[in-house]
Structure formats: structure tokens, C-alpha cells
Structure 1
Amino acid sequence: MAVRNGKQYKASLDDGRVVWLGEGKVDVATDPGLAGSIDGMAGYFDWQLDYADECLVDDPEKPGEKMNVSLMLPKSKEDLMIRHRGLERLARYSNGMLGRTPDYVNVVLSGHTARADIWAQGKPEGYERLRNFHREVIEGDLSMTHTIVHANIDKGAPPLAGMNSDLTLRIVGRNENGVIVRGGKVLATLGPLADEIYVYSSAPIPTGAEDYALIFSIPVNTKGVIQICRDHYGVNASVADAPFSSRFDEQDAFVIFDDVEVPYERLFCEGDLNVYNILNQGVSPGNTLQQTAIRAMVKLEFAYDLCSSIAKVTNSLNAPDVAVQLGEIHAYLSLTRSAIIAAEERAHDWGAGAFFPHRDLSVLRCVMPGWMTRVNQIIRAIGSHNLLCTPSLALFENPEIGDMLRKYLPGSNGIAAEDRARIMRMAWDFAGSALGSRVELYEMFYLTSQSRARIGDHMTAQRDGEWGQVREFMQKSGILPG
């Protein structure tokens, strides 16, 4: 098996994974509350086959076989353009509302695999194991989640000090097969619906905390892996009534590793700070951000069209206040698209032949959380009370009330009442429903917090930039002696 379809994906969920949701443990494969989300993720795997020309590429190690485009190791600008087209097509499956489709962690893993020069600073067996795992993901077309944030419960203490030191994931033992790990990790989006949990570094850790410096991947059904889910925001409704909530709640989970054995063949980094502390910054700002920026671009395109559709329904497309807000969303879209184009145009070899977009693409981490929050505000403002007085589509088929709904709740300019309802319900599901609110919060912390992203960009600029313009100006103007 090199590329799965939706039916094959759904069959893989029946594996005994331990997932707690609501009032108890659930069987993910058969739980009726998760059925819509499982169908939605199965649709993703069918989508990659429906658009195989864009989403799949030749497997370089197995002639005649295909693999998901997100698993390629880009070696040139041409490779990046091929990957761009595939990632964009994959994002259009949910129009960006699924933030953790499998191509996200695929791109992360492929970026890690491409940076052989970073792994060369550690133990050689770690990189060899990683390459073997990358092949395993390709050949199984596996769906991965990641969980990379320390269980920092007490924010008044450092992440690995005080009570946090005992709660977050670390090595507690070893045997002839591998290491034993214990502790919690945040946040496994898609975790209950994934095949694998990939654990890697999100931020450097200090000397003396080597037991926390772990990079590994294990199946989600590994003994001792426990996933604790939030409330499920998927709803049992038609796609017309709830186009996102009916299919696209990917779930989020806090992961507890209860004395889990990680086999050595799946252990890529164990306490090696030379690898652990630099891997993420050597991959994420250019490589991973290509996937996330493309998803954001697709979502902003959809949001602009959605808001324009609302305005057409209410005949306010050219009203000055509405036009200002539509122009604001379009500005966010144009800036995002331009940042992607510029970063891909300035792509270069980051090391060991890994060809990634320019790291300036990471600036989107500093602004996108605010933009996505603002988009939802605009949707609610333009939709206004219309979002709160829209009946279900099924009521239009009711002979007692259907004709009355068509009379009193049509759209403007001849737009049918049913079409008005479809647009308004979609807008509410995007920005106002339980799932819409979850997605908004998710966007706020999608790639670390906005504050941390800004601090990181500032520190990088101070380290790498040449900032002598002020002194040069003062010298040339005679303000300072030459």
C-alpha cells in the first residue's frame, strides 16, 4: 500500500487505541459522535486520489509507485512548485478549516529528514532510524499527529521546573527494547483520528534537562498512550446545514504517556541537545511554513468569497462600510499570497541539499492569528442578525411552513430563500458555531503564540541582520563625526 483511499483509512482506526471523550472511553472506529469527523477525514484520502495529478508524485525509491506530495524531500525550486500545487489542492478540500490534515506533519517529517546536516551533529543511528520511519510513512500513507508542547501547568515556574518537571514527558527508564517515557504533552490535534504520534522539539531546553530532549514516533494504539479529548463539536446534521461541523471537527487531545515503551528503532533523538535544540528552527520557518501559509491563503480566499456572498444576499456589496471590511480581508489575502511567492522565489539550500522557502515566510506567524480573528469578526458583522434567524434547509421541504419561509426570508435581487439560508448557515458554521469558535482559538496558537513569534523574529533579526543604517545616516549628515 502506497496511497490509501478513505475506506482503507477508516479500517485502520479499529486498533484498540485509548481515547477518552465525554463521559468515558470511546471506540473511535464505531463511536456515533465521531462518525461525521471520520467521514470527513476519509474524504481527505479520497480527495488525494480524485486529484492525483496534483496531490501525488512518483516515489523516488519505488518506480511505478506514488506517494503524497507532502512527503517529498524538495531539492530545487521546481520541487517546491510541485509541492505548492499539491498542498494548495489538499487545502481546498476543507478550504483551510482543517488545520491538521496529514500533509502538515508529513511536511514537518520530510523537512526533518532533509536536514541530514543537523542530525550529523548527533548519533548516526538516530538519523538512520528517522529515514527508515519516513519510508514507513510513505509506504503506509500514514496519518500523523504531533504533540510537542511541554505540559506547562504552572506558568509561574519555568517549563521544566517545579510541578511542571514531574508532569511533562521525559525518560524514566530503559530496557533491552527501548526507553520508557512518562508524562503529558500538548496538543495532539487529530490525535484520536491519526495513526501515529510524532514527538519532537518545539523550543530549546537547557543543559541538565536532557531526559526531556526526545524525538520519536509511535502508533497511537501503543500501550500506555492515553488521549483525553475536549468536547466534540461535530454535529449530526446535513452538509448543507453544517458544512464544517458535520465533517471537519478534527478533535484535540491532551496526551498522557503512562510508562510507554518507545522502541529504539522509533527513537530518533535521546538527550542530544545539539540536535534537539536546533532542529525546529532549522526546518520550520521555511519548510513547514510553506504548508501552513498555503492553507491560510486558501482559507482567506474562501472567507473573502463567503463575505462577498453574504453581501450579495443582503444587497450590501457596494455599501461603503461593507466594502471597507471586504477590502480588509482581501488585503490579508494579498499579503499572504505575496509572502508565499516572495519566499518561494528566494528559496535556497538550507543545508544538506534541503531546498526550502526563505525564512522570512515565518513573519506570517506574527500576523496571521490577528488576521484570522479579525476575519471572523467581519463575518459576524456583515452577517449580523441574519446569522441568527436562518432556518434549517429541511424546513423548506415542510409543506406547512416552506412557502412562508420562501416569502419572508428570501435573498435580495431574486436570490432564493434556500440559497440565502445556505450562505448564512455556512457563515455561522465558519465563524459562530462551537466548531467555528474552536477553530478561531486554534488559529491564535497554531504555530506558537503571536507574542512568542514576534519575539523570535526580533531575536533572529538582531542576530543575523546588519542594522547600521541609523549610525551611517548620522555620520553622513554630520550628526556624528565621520
Structure 2
Amino acid sequence: MAARTGAQYKAGLDDGREVWLGEGRVDVASDPVLKGSINGMAGYFDWQHQHADECLIDDPEKPGEKMSVSLMLPKSREDLAVRHRGLERLARYSNGMLGRTPDYVNVVLAGHTARADIWAAGKPEGYERLRKFHREVIDGDLALTHTIVHANIDKSAPPLGGMNSELTLRVVDRNENGIVVRGGKVLATLGPLADELYVYSSMPIPSGGEEYALIFSVPVNTKGVIQICRDHYGREASVADAPFSSRFDEQDSFVIFDDVEVPWERVFCDGDLRVYNTLNQGVSPGNTLQQTAIRAMVKLEFAYDLCSSVAKVTNSLNYPETAQMLGEIHSYLSLTRSAIVAAEAQAHDWGAGAFFPHRDLSVLRCVMPEWMNRVNHIIRVIGGHNLLCTPSLALFEDPEIGDKLRKYLPGSNGMPAEDRARIMRMAWDFAGSALGSRVELYEMFYLTSQSRARIGDHMVAQRDYEWNQVREFMQKSGILPA
């Protein structure tokens, strides 16, 4: 199969997965509430064929076959350039509004597979199983999501202490077939619409918590895998009226593993803290951040153009206060683009031939939540009350009211009322709708919380660099003896 079409993706959803949404359990493949989101994700798979020259590459193990660029094992600066082009094209499908398209976890999995040296610290069969799984994902062009955060319900207790110890995912048994796991995990974005749940390390686990140190993957329809969804924010509306909400609510779920048996061939790490605690920091800061930074760049590009378009509706593009806010968004875009360029220029071998961008790229985790939140605020400020008095596009076709709408609700400088409505509705869907608010919250905790990211950045700086500037200056100035 190698590179699936949208129709092939949709056919794979009819597999009996256990998903609870709204007032009960739903059949994902046929549920009308999820129809728009499923069609939106199917469009993602068709998009990779429409842009095959960027999104698909030659399969190095199967001559004549194509595979997703996001599953490549980058071994050179040239490979990273190829992957950059593909990831950027994939992000442009939703202009960054889809945060968990399959290429995200694909890049994670490829990074894990590329770091054979980290896995060498553990049992060799774990890495061999991972390599085979990577191959399986390539051949099936599977849609993966992850669920990696502990079910930390009581924040006054340690993540794996108190009531949290019983609620978060852990091993409860082992048998000849595999391991049996029980507990919850947060958060499976795209979970109901994915093919696989990939569970891997996020934060280090202390000695004594080996039963929680698990890396494995299971199909979402595995017996005992239960997904509890939030309210659905997708809308049954035209793309013109709801360009994002009609297609791009990727859904989020809390995952309960109710004594799920994971076969040994899908168990990659079982309690080995040397592998579990090293893998994320050995892959994420450079490898995974390439995908997330590119998505953010594409989203900021779109946001700048969208805000400019809103300003043109009211002829306020060159107002000093408006220009200042637009310049602010553009500065975020320029800094993001520059960080990507610099990290890719300083890319290097991280180990075992895995060629990733420089880890400084991960600094974006420390600033992007504020930037994305600020962008939404700016859209609402520039749009103002205009965002709240925009009719549906269908009303323009109504013979009784259509002409009045065209007379009283045009844009400035001769802009037709229909164009004004399209822009304002898009801006509202981006920043003010239920989906827009969900995406804003999602960005706040994307790749961990902002405070945790900053603490991590500080700890890495203290660990990896020597800070002697103050002492050297004092010695040079005679404040301290040389």
C-alpha cells in the first residue's frame, strides 16, 4: 500500500474501536458527528498524493515503491532539506490548524528508530521489534497518534505517587503472549481517528517506577483500549462558512487501558530506565522539533495574512495600532523561520548516523505558547465587532435579504459583501469559535507546558555549557585576581 488515499484511510476506520462521545459509544466510521473530521483527515492523505513530489520519497528498501517523507531516517543535511519540504507541504493542508497530523508521530517514530545507539543500552529484541514496527507503519501508511502523559489527577502528589500510582498506565502482568497493562493516559489527540496508539517516554521516571517505563504500540481497536472524547467542536457547515470547524476538529481523547494485552512483538521497552529516560531527550529537541517548528511557521504565515486581510476589510491596514500588531505577528514568524534555518544549518550526527537539526530549535517550546495565544488575541482585536455581525454565505442567496446584505455589509474599497463575510468568518473560526478556542488551549500545552519547557532549557544550559563570562570579566578588569 505504501501511500494511502483518503478512501483507503476511511475504509480502515471500520474496525470496531471503542470510542465514547457525547451521550454514548459511537461507531466512528459512520457517526454523523465525526463525518466532517473524517473527511478532513481523508483529505490529508489525498493531499500527499496531490503533492507527491514533495510528500513522498523513494522507499530505500523497496525499489519502485514510494513512502511518506515523514518516515525517512535522516542521515544527512540533504535528507533534512527533503524532509523539510515535505513537512512544510503537509502543514499547508490545514495551515497549521491540525496539530496531530500523522506526520508528527511518524517523525517521532523515525527519530526513535534512527537512534540505535540509545536502544543498545537495553535488550536487543526491543530495538529489533521497533525496526519491524517502523517498517509496518511505512508499508501500511498508518495514521499514528501518541498518548504519553501520565494520568496525573492529584497534582499535590508526585506524578506516580498517591492516587496517581493506581490511575496511570503500568504493567500489571506478563505472560507468554506479552505484557498486560492497566491505567489511563493523556492526551490522545486524533485518537479516535488514528490507526495506532504509540506509547513512549515523555518525562523521566525515577528508579522504583519501572512498571511505568513502557514503550509500545497497539492498534486503536485492541480489546480493552477505551477512548473517552471531549465534546466535538466540528460543525456541519460549508467550508466557506466554517473553513476549519467543518473539517479540522481532530478530536482529543482520554485513553483507558483496561487490562490490555500488548503482544511481545509490539513491546519495545519494558521497564528499562536506561532506554526510557534517555530516548526523548535524545530525539525530540532536534528531530521532532523540526516538524513542530515547521507547522508553527506555516500557521504564523497564515495568521499574518489572515490578520492583514481582516484589516483590509475595514481599511485599517496602515493604522499605526493595527500595523504594530501585524508587525508583532510578523516578528514571531521571522524568529520562527530563523530558528529553523539556524538549527538545520547546524544539523549534525546525534548518534548512530541519525542526522537531526541542532537542539537549540527546542527553544521554540518556551515561547510559542505565548505567541500563539497572542496571535488569537490580535485577530479578535483587529476584527472587533465585525467578527460578531457576519451572516452565513447562504443568506446572500436569499432573494429577500441578499441585496440588503450586499448594500449594508460590504468591505472597504469596493470589496464585495460576500468577500467580507468569507474573511470574517474565517477569522472567527480560526480564533473565536469553539474549535479556535480548543486549538488555543492545545497550543498552550503543545510539547509540555511553557514553564516546564523553560525549566528544561535552563537545566540543559547548566549541564551542557560552561558559564565563565562573569568571572573572566572580573579577572580581566582586576575585580578578582587572575
Q: TM-score range by the shorter chain?
A: over 0.9
Deviation at 1:324, TM superposition (A): 0.1
The aligned counterpart of 1:201 is 201
Task: Indicate the residue corresponding to 1:240 in structure 2.
Answer: 240
- 1:96 maps to 96
SS at the partner of 2:448?
A: coil
Partner of 2:321: 321
Give the corresponding residue for 2:65.
Answer: 65
Aligned match of 2:256: 256
C-alpha distance in structure 2 between counterparts of 1:283 and 1:165, whole Å: 27
Once residues 186 and 340 of structure 2 are traced to their aligned partners in structure 1, the CA distance between those partners, rounded to angstroms, is: 29
In the alignment, the residues of structure 1 paired with residue 54 and residue 397 of structure 2 have an alpha-carbon distance, to the nearest angstrom, of 39
Alignment of 1:205-216 (within 5 A): 205-216=205-216
| Aligned match of 2:274 | 274
AA at the equivalent of 1:460: V
TM-aligned CA deviation for residue 174 of structure 1? 1.4
Using the TM superposition, give the Cα deviation of residue 176 of structure 1 relative to its aligned residue in structure 2, in angstroms. Answer: 1.1
Specify the alignment match of 1:408 in structure 2. Answer: 408
Tell me what 1:151 maps to: 151
Match of 1:76 in 2: 76
DSSP 3-state at the match of 1:180: strand
1:190 maps to a residue whose letter is L
> Quick one: which amino acid aligns to residue 70 of structure 1?
S
Q: Report the AA paired with residue 140 of structure 1.
A: G
Unpaired runs of at least 5, structure 1: none
TM value normalised by structure 1 = 1.00
Query: Where in structure 2 are the equivalents of 1:67-146 lying within 5 Å?
Result: 67-146=67-146
* Counterpart residue number, 1:296: 296
Query: Which residue is equivalent to 1:190?
Result: 190
CA deviation digits over 1:391-436, x for unaligned, max 9? 0000000000000000000000000000000000000000000000
Separation in 2 of the partners of 1:426 and 1:69? 30
Matched, 1:44 2:44: yes
**Letter paired with 1:225:** V
Once the two structures are superposed, the pairs formed by residues 2-17 of structure 1 within 5 Å of their partners are 2-17=2-17
In the alignment, what sits opposite 2:345?
Answer: 345
1:439 aligns with 2:429: no
Report the Cα distance in structure 1 between the residues aligned to 2:353 and 2:457, rounded to whole angstroms: 24
Distance in 2 (alpha carbons) for counterparts of 1:190 and 1:310: 30
Question: What residue in structure 2 maps to residue 174 of structure 1?
Answer: 174
State the match for 2:56 in structure 1: 56
Cα distance in 1 between the residues matched to 2:363 and 2:207: 29
1:184-209 C-alpha deviation (Å, 9 max, x unpaired): 00000000000000000001001011
Q: CA deviation at 1:71?
A: 0.1
User: CA shift at 1:326, angstroms?
Assistant: 0.2
Deviation at 1:466, TM superposition (A): 1.3
Taking only aligned residues, the RMSD between alpha carbons, in angstroms, comes to: 0.3
Paired position in structure 2 for 1:265: 265
Q: Per the alignment, in what secondary structure is the counterpart of residue 130 of structure 1?
A: helix
Separation of aligned partners in 2, 1:140 and 1:34: 23
SS at match of 1:245: coil
Name the TM-score, length of structure 2 as normaliser: 1.00
Q: Does 1:394 align with 2:394?
A: yes
Q: State the match for 2:223 in structure 1.
A: 223
CA distance in 1: counterparts of 2:37 and 2:270, whole angstroms: 35
Aligned to 1:335: 335
5+ unaligned residues in a row in structure 2: which ranges?
none
Q: List structure 1 segments (4+ residues) > 6 angstroms apart after TM superposition.
A: none
Distance 1:268 1:358 in 2: 27
SS of match in other structure, 2:182: strand
